[in-house]
Amino acid sequence: MKTSVNVGVIGCGNISDAYLKAAPQFEAMQIIACADINPDAAIAKAETYGIQALSVEDLLADDRIELVLNLTTPQHHVPVGLQILNAGKHSYSEKPLAIDLSEALKLVELAAQKGLRVGCAPDTFFGGSHQTARKAVDEGIIGAALAGSAYMMCPGHEAWHPNPDFYYQQGGGPLMDMGPYYITALINMIGSIESVTGVAKAAYAKREITSGPRKGEKFNVDVQTHISAVLSFTCGAQVNLTTSFDVHKHTHNHIELYGSKGSMIVPDPNRFDGDVEVSKASGDWENVPQTHLYGDDNYRGIGLADMAQAILDDRPQRASLELSLHVLEAMEAILTSAETGRRVTLKHQCDRPAALPDTLPFGKLKEE
């Protein structure tokens, strides 16, 4: 009986290391090859992680590979994803699913035609802290979710990233870049979004790179860099979301949920770890004991592993096409609302991803 899925990687940039380091911990998948438009980048990763370096064309033609991890920049997620599907392979990409909804629907249509799966990051909601928060919500510790807040605010990525331009081009910006973590974490806890309203602006027309070989170089800002929205969830909760590349420092928690019986602080959804805190009936904040694994390190790739296990078990994966499409539509709708001044109702709904059982042994995603 088949127990693992062979995986190939297209895109050998910064984020690939996190996936390649974490992959051996999960028995459902085995990354065997990588490719990049820069052959030297693929060769370097292959040598570091003991896998094979191939051209993109050879990787897509390799019959050993059943699932391809797409780690290209956001503007290439759909074009490369379509290549993967046309090669007869399942596709899993970094977030966002696409730079706009119309592009994403091309993946939806082709995947349906081919009978193939599409998955998408983020998978940080698999983390021990976020599954603990999910379980606490499901057990009614804070009662019915009524409202909440979510903040991702920083000064931007040009201080550390050697080539930050793409963060400020179409498909980038704080909402498209970091919003998927926050919105996915909220959906994991309280379900899908019914409608959104938003406002947005860009504080600067140009940005300056402040580190690395391009230090001092300026580039254009083509996207909004401070976006605030109200997310109206189907459960009735309303959550205020702000994402920004224009804030140097702040004191907001990453996520807070306010329920009929108490409140909850949820840690950074861009990480797997962190403390979950609850205050019942206006009492003191208390830590919620962590109930799940994967809360002590960076386990990026667990969503890919869950997809591999889902292929083996013929079950839905958690980091699904439906979930990522809903998140993308929500983000696009926020920007549309900001442009039009109107509330936008979402058309593409999704179910909450199945909770991760707290009884699974480390590295195993097979549900008995």
All structural domains of the chain:
5-123+299-317 (3.40.50.720), 125-287 (3.30.360.10)
CA proximity to 67, closest of 22, 4, 16: 4
Query: How far is the C-alpha of 233 from the C-alpha of 245, rounded, in Å?
Result: 25
For residue 48, count other CB atoms closer than 10 A to its CB: 14
pLDDT at 207 (0 to 100):
97
pLDDT at 306 (0 to 100):
98
Cβ atoms of 97 and 325 closer than 8 Å:
yes
Classify the phi-psi angles of 115: left when phi > 0, otherwise alpha if psi is within -120 to 50, otherwise beta. left
* Each residue's pLDDT expressed in tens, for the chain with a length of 368 residues: 789 999 999 999 989 999 999 999 999 999 999 999 999 999 999 999 999 999 999 999 999 999 999 999 999 999 999 999 999 999 999 999 999 999 999 999 999 999 999 999 999 999 999 999 999 999 999 999 999 999 999 999 999 988 899 899 988 899 999 999 999 999 999 999 999 999 999 999 999 999 999 999 999 999 999 999 999 999 999 999 999 999 999 999 999 999 999 999 999 999 999 999 999 987 899 999 999 999 999 999 999 999 999 999 999 999 999 999 999 999 999 999 999 999 999 999 999 999 999 999 999 999 77
